[in-house]
Structure 1
Amino acid sequence: MKFFTLPAAASAMAVLLGSAALAEPSGVVGFLMPDQASTRYEEHDFPGFKAEMDKLCPSCEVIYQNANADVALQQQQFNALLTQDAKVIVLDPVDSAAAAGLVTLAQAQGVKVIAYDRPIPATPADYYVSFDNEGIGYAIAKSLVEHLKASGVPDGAGVLQINGSPTDAAAGLIRDGIHRALKESPYKTLAEFDTPDWAPPKAQEWAAGQITRFGAEITGVVAANDGTGGGAVAAFKAAGVNPVPPVTGNDATIAALQLIISGDQYNTISKPSEIVAAAAANIAVTFLNGETPEAKTSLYDTPSELFVPAVVTKENIKAEIFDKGIQTPEQICTGEYAEGCKALGITQ
């Protein structure tokens, strides 16, 4: 039998305590995204979250699911994570109001909920991380207004406003930002539409009806994201309108960047989802460590971190997208967009 002297025993205990202090966190972490209408969740958000979790918590089990715009399916996915003893759930809700009940359920079981991209106004989550959605709405609309002024569009001219899903609180914030910018402008809103599930075909159908209704009175379109903006562009093209009035967007999708290069979309927002995803992973690991993440600001009584994105137009697309490595010419400058890329100095 081996005995330690008192100093040796104390030293051995110190080593054990030190090892415990350095022990890596572990556990099940859920990452629940809302829909597949946008390609960003599979292409950017989840890969960014998983990569950061792999660095910070290699022993954690990350479970990713997408609800495909189905509220009931997302509730099932959330409940399944609770039965799998998830310690933290990152939730981008299909329906911000319905998600309040999920937050209450999780918190009653000691599970932390990080609201992601879309806030949950009715019941504060444990943390909220996103880009500044109201700021996005203001920025894209303000950019369009300045462009219309510079193009000589007279005061009193009309624009269309295409919002996101009425069940998405983030869409409401984007809408509020657009309202603020348009209210400050000399232009009037001809008509406004909330796009169910952010579905581009629904935005296109509505825009087609407004083209029939207002015709040449439409001098621009403030669309809340690239999907709805792309729907508007498609409606103008189908109606034979040439050139297409300037249309806004948000998300810097490949399709939108190509439309900007071809001149069919005026702007978008560059907000690399990996930035917010990595922040969510850091917050999740802080919770796993039993610590409280620092609140950079607060929204809906929820400690929050909101990132500021960049507006992208033809003038700065090379600097913001290609020089920063967010996309490559090989991904964007294909086929009919090759000449446009050369004209903008993106390729030789």
Structure 2
Amino acid sequence: MTRTLRGAIALAGAAALSLSVVATSVAAGPGVSSVARQDDVKIGLLLPESKTTRYEKFDRPYIEQKIKELAPNAQIDYYNAAESATTQQQQVNTALAKGDQVLILDAVDAKSIQSSVEKANAAGVKVVAYDRLAQGPVDAYVSYDNRKVGELQGKALLDALGSKAADSQIVMHNGSPTDPNAAEFKAGAHSVLDGKVKIGKEYDTPNWDPNNANQQMSGAISALGKDNIQAVYSANDGLAAGIATALKASGINVPLTGQDAQLDAIQRILLGTQTITVQKPYKPEADIAATMAVNLAEGKELPKDLTPVTVTNGSGDKVPATLLAPVVVNKDNIKDTVVKDGMYTVQEICTPTYAAACKEAGLT
């Protein structure tokens, strides 16, 4: 591996394990022979969209790199559903027709994909749910503690509002209703915010579309008045980009959350137009998904150190899983998080537009 993994695995009801331990297991490939049956390993990788930077820049290359590390001659069939649940269902059919033994699936719509998961299961094809927990007989799941993400975002807003929180009104943008993670972010945020602030407007945003978030925020400003919005909860950085544009157009600068540690979000944090983002380091998640998939393609049971917890999906199926711990990124710890973890270099972040802000933050 190119770098040491940091953070901790969040285990329900169990002591946390350091990611360095997980990384060691993943690097060695727990349960995977040092020489994989390479000609037999056929894996379909199905990602949901490309509007969010992470999928093409991080998730896909990390997953493919780890699969090839474990099984150099593996066949990897890649699909991106471009936010279409119907397209993703067709892509599952194509992957099954190609003879893929395992699908790494990040569902566009966790509910509607259930019939495809059931079809794969009936064909003896294993399914690793990646980042989002699909419904149906899923064989393994890797993600982050998504309720914790919402809790961290909610706490960041309260911290930013300080003693004014009780008299503050906020707007909430919760993400796509077809993404089960969005429901967990929302639940976590509400568990922190309810009773502490007034929620003036609240929105779901189909397909995590920043343009829709922009329109929703503009509508909230019109309805509530620009002086009556003291903070904005955004479930991810893509939505935050659209929200920040609407706020700027109305001359508003208030605390704003995000998630995914996108480059533009890091730059907004430097400028003070976004307060925090939540980083979910992609490489640990990708490495674990790839290792699960290679194990399953070889017909092996997943070892307990790779699936230390069990979760229940929307269809009632119990799924062995790994849940990783998210990290808050703010102006003070950019160097110790996204830079140290290799997501971005200082040069990528500190382009001329952000040079002064970078210097102030101690990045240059």
Offset, 1:28: 1.4
TM-score by length of 1: 0.89
5+ residue gaps, structure 1:
1-19
The match for 2:92 among 78, 91, 97 is 78
C-alpha distance in structure 2 between counterparts of 1:188 and 1:218, whole Å: 10
Offset, 1:23: 5.3
C-alpha distance in structure 2 between counterparts of 1:105 and 1:266, whole Å: 44
The match for 1:168 among 166, 170, 179 is 179
C-alpha distance in structure 2 between counterparts of 1:132 and 1:32, whole Å: 21
Structure 1 residues 115 and 21: alpha-carbon distance in aligned structure 2, compared to 1, 3 A threshold:
closer
Partner amino acid, structure 1, of 2:203: F
C-alpha distance in structure 2 between counterparts of 1:316 and 1:59, whole Å: 40
Residue 295 of structure 2 corresponds to residue 286 of structure 1: yes
Q: Contact 2:109 / 2:178 at 8 angstroms: preserved in 1?
A: yes
The match for 1:47 among 61, 78, 92 is 61
Residue 4 of structure 1 is matched in structure 2 by none
The match for 1:233 among 244, 265, 271 is 244
Partner amino acid, structure 2, of 1:61: Q
Structure 1 residues 218 and 309: alpha-carbon distance in aligned structure 2, compared to 1, 3 A threshold:
same
Residue 309 of structure 2 corresponds to residue 297 of structure 1: yes
Residue 6 of structure 1 is matched in structure 2 by none
Cα displacement string for residues 7-49 of structure 1 (whole angstroms, at most 9, x for unaligned residues): xxxxxxxxxxxxx996534321011011122011100000000
Offset, 1:193: 0.3
Offset, 1:240: 2.2
Partner amino acid, structure 2, of 1:137: G
Residue 249 of structure 1 is matched in structure 2 by 258
TM-score by length of 2: 0.85
Cα displacement string for residues 180-235 of structure 1 (whole angstroms, at most 9, x for unaligned residues): 1112x521211110001000000010001111111212111110000111111110
Q: Contact 1:44 / 1:272 at 8 angstroms: preserved in 2?
A: no
C-alpha distance in structure 2 between counterparts of 1:290 and 1:114, whole Å: 14
Q: Contact 1:257 / 1:332 at 8 angstroms: preserved in 2?
A: yes
Q: Say which SS state the counterpart of residue 101 (structure 2) adopts.
A: strand
5+ residue gaps, structure 2:
1-32, 313-317
Residue 268 of structure 1 is matched in structure 2 by 277
Structure 1 residues 324 and 247: alpha-carbon distance in aligned structure 2, compared to 1, 3 A threshold:
same
Structure 1 vs Structure 2 CA RMSD: 1.5
Offset, 1:73: 0.9
Q: Contact 1:48 / 1:275 at 8 angstroms: preserved in 2?
A: no
C-alpha distance in structure 1 between counterparts of 2:72 and 2:66, whole Å: 9
The match for 2:110 among 96, 103, 106 is 96
The match for 2:198 among 159, 174, 188 is 188
Report the structure number with the largest CA radius of gyration: 1
Identity, in percent, stands at 37
Residue 30 of structure 1 is matched in structure 2 by 44
Residue 197 of structure 1 is matched in structure 2 by 207
C-alpha distance in structure 2 between counterparts of 1:263 and 1:229, whole Å: 13
Partner amino acid, structure 2, of 1:327: Y
Q: Say which SS state the counterpart of residue 137 (structure 2) adopts.
A: coil
The answer to which structure, 1 or 2, has the higher relative contact order (CA under 8 A, 6+ apart) is: 2
